[in-house]
Amino acid sequence: MMINRILLLCLFLLGFYGLMVLKNLVKKVFALSIQNSAVILLFIVEGSRIGDHAPILSEDQVRYVDPIPQALMLTAIVVGICVTALALALVYRLYQKYESLNVEEIQRKANNE
Amino acid sequence: MTKLMGIVSLLLLSAVLGPIIITEHPWSQNARDFLLHNGYRDTGASNLVSAIYLGYRAYDTIGETIVLLAAVTGAVFLIKGFGSSHQAPVPSYKRGAIRTNIISMTTGKLAPVVMLFGWYVMFFGHQSPGGGFQGGVVLASGMLFIALGREHHKRDSQLTKKRLHRIEVLSLWLILLLVCIPLTLGAAILENPLTKIGDSIPRVIYIIGFNMAIGLKVGSGLSILGLLMMDMQHDD
């Protein structure tokens, strides 16, 4: 399934572009979150190439997907939530101190101090 | 200018990542087949994902719960730790403007159902889709439902961050206890201790205990994070 991968590459690049170009810090955090989602989806797509059933054992032998990428991505999801929450808390602190979410404005105000 | 640089770096990045992502290299089946034949016997969980993250790679799971604890601690410190000396007080008419009786009513009725589902996902994580992390997240969303609807009786609410933090720390202790129990029975650390006793007790009990402890930990941690972000101006 080539189209899946191309779309996932686009999603990752979209997140990267947002992280680089956008000025708003909250939008940057969400761009990071989009990148995280793209990586997670890529692993799930990779693992599902060798089967089409959820990896829960049952009586009849069917082709299961690879459970290892799923277990790894479970970890990645939790860590991604932690990173997003911590980043948002940091943004909140910056907003309290400089009363702006714009990176350039924060930098200018920090330089003036 | 920034946009131009962004587009150039996008092109460069896609040149690097494209061949990695768009590849038709066949995916190895060895790991899947190994787990298919040994997973249930080794851990007692028929959900192979649970068998991995609570059996073969339980060490990762411990680290992951500690990452969660660190993130919650860091967020609490960043939001509340510096003190609220120079933050502008929000006018009272602004707060609660988005909360209506409809929201209180709906969330109040939904929250018990959502939390019951969360406990189900936690308990049956070994044989159906689910597990500690997923159940914990569902549990936390139930808690946040309650928090959304509790506007009118905020003062005497039992749902405080301090209590949730206590639950989180207690469940971390529970996890550490579950890590150490195998040592007393002569098994390696994080090995399923019930394999040493024999078949009289189902092995899956160890997995269920782990799922419950992790679910409590994740649920309370995410509830704390959500409560922190919902009412940042308040000190409970």
Query: Residue B132: what pLDDT?
Result: 87
Tokens of B99: 């909360």
Instruction: Report the percent of chain A where pLDDT is more than 70.
Output: 99
A25 or B182: which leads in pLDDT: A25
CA of A56 to nearest chain B CA: how many angstroms apart?
4
State the pTM of this model: 0.83
For residues B78 and A89, is the Cβ–Cβ distance under 8 A? yes
CA B131 to chain centre: 10
Q: Is B127 within a domain?
A: yes
Query: Residue B55: what pLDDT?
Result: 82
At residue A108 the predicted structure's pLDDT band, cuts being 50, 70 and 90, is very high
Tokens of B71: 């993130």
Among B40, B209, B57, B38, smallest CA distance to A71 is for B57
Report pLDDT digits (tens) over B83-120. 554 455 554 445 555 567 787 888 888 999 999 999 99
* Domain extent for A19: 2-54+63-111
Report pLDDT digits (tens) over A34-47. 999 999 999 998 88
At residue B152 the predicted structure's pLDDT band, cuts being 50, 70 and 90, is low
Q: Considering all CA atoms of chain B, what is the largest pairwise distance in Å, rounded to the nearest integer? A: 70
- Contacting residues of B for A20, CB less than 8 Å apart: 2, 5-6, 9
B81 or B17: which leads in pLDDT: B17
Q: What is the dihedral of CA A104, A105, A106, A111, to 10 degrees?
A: 90
Helix and strand counts by DSSP (H, E) for chain B: 9, 0
The mean per-residue pLDDT over the stretch B160-171 comes to 85
Query: Residue B234: what pLDDT?
Result: 44
Instruction: Report the percent of chain B where pLDDT is more than 70.
Output: 85
The mean per-residue pLDDT over the stretch B189-202 comes to 76
Of A76-85, A94-103, B81-90, B178-187, the range with the lowest mean pLDDT is B81-90
B156 pLDDT exceeds 80?
A: no
* Among A50, A67, A77, beta carbon nearest to B52: A67
Among A101, A22, A30, smallest CA distance to B6 is for A22
Among A71, A1, A18, smallest CA distance to B48 is for A71
Number of domains composing chain A: 1
Among A72, A84, A75, A55, smallest CA distance to B214 is for A75
Q: Is B9 within a domain?
A: no
Of B55-64, B75-84, B153-162, B215-224, the range with the lowest mean pLDDT is B153-162
Q: CA separation (Å) from B179 to B175, B176, B204, B209?
A: 6, 5, 15, 11
Report pLDDT digits (tens) over A26-72. 999 999 999 999 999 999 988 888 888 888 888 777 788 888 999 99
Predicted ipTM? 0.84
Q: Is B139 within a domain?
A: yes
Query: Residue B235: what pLDDT?
Result: 42
Q: What average pLDDT does the structure give for chain A?
A: 90
A15 pLDDT exceeds 90?
A: yes
Q: What is the dihedral of CA B198, B199, B203, B205, to 10 degrees?
A: -100
CATH number at residue A10: 1.10.287.3510
Query: Residue B98: what pLDDT?
Result: 58
Query: Residue B187: what pLDDT?
Result: 78
Q: What is the dihedral of CA A77, A81, A82, A84, to 10 degrees?
A: 130
* Domain extent for B61: 44-83+101-230
Q: What secondary structure does DSSP assign to A13-71, as a single string?
A: HHHHHHHHH--BHHHHHHHHHHHHHHHHHHHHHHHGGG-SB-SB--SS---BPPHHHHH
CA of A17 to nearest chain B CA: how many angstroms apart?
6
Chosen from B1, B14, B16, B21 to mutate, greatest number of chain A CBs within 10 A: B21
Number of domains composing chain B: 1
Residue window 35-94, chain A: list those with CB within 8 Å of chain B.
42, 46-47, 49-51, 54-58, 64-68, 70-71, 74-75, 77-79, 81-83, 85-86, 88-90, 92-93
Query: Residue B91: what pLDDT?
Result: 47
Q: Is B7 within a domain?
A: no
Q: What average pLDDT does the structure give for chain B?
A: 81
For residues B140 and B226, is the Cβ–Cβ distance under 8 A? yes
